Amino acid sequence: MKPKSNSVILVEVATEEDYLAARGCGMSGLGEFSLHRYPRRLSGSAQKAATRVLVQGMENWQSRRDQLRNEYRERVAKGEVRQPTRMEKLTRIASGDPENSAVQAAKRILQNIQGQ
């Protein structure tokens, strides 16, 4: 008989968006502000070239996000990653800026839950 091991299996806790952001494909990687901010500073051909580069970059970014989404779903199915529980989500939100109304609401909900 094999002796039982007391090994601990670590499971990553992440929402899909957190998983994507941790791997460099968060929503903040989209777009190029300078094309919108200074459109008159570029000539017509330079604007078209910059737009082509931007569109290609966005397509590559979206393709990478799709790959990571599939990877995330596979890892969830295998049990290597799990969604955060409601309490974990609330705790994370409640640790934000106290001026934010979502943070205040999360704190009230946590107080109500802990008071029960």
pLDDT in tens, 25-60: 888 766 665 556 555 666 778 778 878 888 888 889
Query: What is d(CA 37, CA 26) in angstroms, rounded to the nearest whole number?
Result: 22
Mean pLDDT across 88-95? 92
Q: What is the pTM of this model?
A: 0.71
pLDDT of residue 114: 86
Question: Is 19:72 a contact under the CB 8 Å cutoff?
Answer: yes
Q: How many domains does the chain have?
A: 2
55 and 93 share one domain = no
The answer to whether residue 73 scores a pLDDT higher than 90 is yes
**pLDDT of 18:** 92
More confident of the two residues 17 and 54: 17
Please tell me which residue, 43 or 82, carries the higher pLDDT value: 82
Q: Is residue 1 part of a domain?
A: no
Asked if residue 5 is part of any domain, the answer here is no
User: Are 69 and 15 contained in the same domain?
Assistant: yes
**Domain span holding position 99:** 85-116
Mean of the per-residue pLDDT values of the chain: 84
Closest among 15, 29, 87 to 58, alpha carbons compared? 29
Q: What pLDDT, on a 0 to 100 scale, did the predictor assign at position 37?
A: 59
Q: What is the pLDDT of residue 10?
A: 82
